[in-house]
Amino acid sequence: MSLLTEFCRIPTSGARAVEPFEVDGASWLAVPQLATDVPGTPADMNGGDSDTEVLLLRRAGSGYDVVAALDAPGGEDTEFFSIDGRRFLAVASIRSGAGPYDYTTPSRLFEWSGDKFLPYQTFPGYAAKQWRHLEIDGRHFLALAQGLARPGQDAASRPSEIHEWNGSEFVPLQTVASAWGYNWHGFAVDGRPFLAHADHVEPSVLHEWDGSAFVPRQVLVEKAGRAFADFTVEGTTYLLAACLLGPSRLLRWDGSAFVEHQVLDGPGAREWAVVHGRSGLYVVRVNFITGTPQAPNPQLDSQIYRWHDDRLEVVETFPTSGGTDVAVIEDPGGPLIAVSNALSPDVRFAVPSVIYRFSG
């Protein structure tokens, strides 16, 4: 019996993330979209029209219905969070236009007004790819992974940035060295707050909060880092490190640093989700592409691992088409697994994202 059963499909175009959240007892899903297809143009994973919208879907019976959309071009990520009862949705916009593209497109923060999200704050940036909200000792931070530093190009690129809430808005706190920032993951070990930053070109680095700033502590991935996720088994913390261009790895906290515990074979990894099922701990890995941006292969199998004998073992695979994100949705009938797909087999943007029922 398969661990995943298709629950519903969502028509999306270049979907880059899936963000589940709840508002006033209703289950919602935000899906940012990178681009739509331009008729008569050749297939190009970096092409298309990026004057797009973020889809907002609400649970309705046995599926999710699109009920609204936010004006947010070149959507790469959304992050939902609350501060003192106020609900916010941050959107990372990598670019706008249909070629040439404007990578200085600002990213926006929206606030829930009671019946819809309204623009609240705008952040300048360059090729923004992910927001992450963190709360440490009552302080709220919003980290933006960004940058597109290519040799001889994009001199306007910016490092990744961390902002702090001052009671009415987010203000700059610090920058984090990066060339092609992709992702963040915040977590704690023995009460110590950590923030992992994934970068495609530069090393991906683990930072620790020292009370006033996030300080670099350890290189986690040398190159092509994409995402991190953590879990704890019998008091030991493990960190999953996704790598696009080579094998991914499972790292183990040894009391002072993360050390390699297991190599997870195969390139193309983009995102993780940890699922606590009835039969134990599972990890869902979503793969993006293999090959090159000029000749990509987006039609890949992604994996489900189960923790067994201090290792992760592949127990099932499932098809993805340019998979970009995976998220767990808590549901009375058991966990739902939302997966965003960004590229069709013929490298077009119009490809459905899928929600599965998890039976593990």
Name the token pair of 180.
Answer: 């092609």
pLDDT value of residue 96? 98
pLDDT of residue 149: 82
For the chain, list residues with pLDDT below 70. 151-154
pLDDT value at position 235? 97
Q: What does the alpha-carbon distance between residue 308 and residue 328 come to, in Å, rounded to a whole number?
A: 21
> pLDDT at position 278, please?
85
What integer pLDDT is reported at residue 280 of this predicted model? 94
pLDDT given for residue 152 in this prediction: 63
The predicted pLDDT at position 151 comes to 64
| Integer Cα distance of 217 and 25 in angstroms | 40
- Return the pLDDT at 53: 98
Residues 6+ apart with CB under 8 A from 196: 184, 185, 186, 187, 204, 205, 206, 207, 220, 228, 239
Q: What does the alpha-carbon distance between residue 297 and residue 302 come to, in Å, rounded to a whole number?
A: 13
Instruction: Say how far apart CA 256 and CA 215 lie, in whole Å.
Output: 15
pTM over 0.85: yes
Q: How far is CA 178 from the centre of its chain?
A: 17
Architecture of domain 4-358: 7 Propeller (2.130)
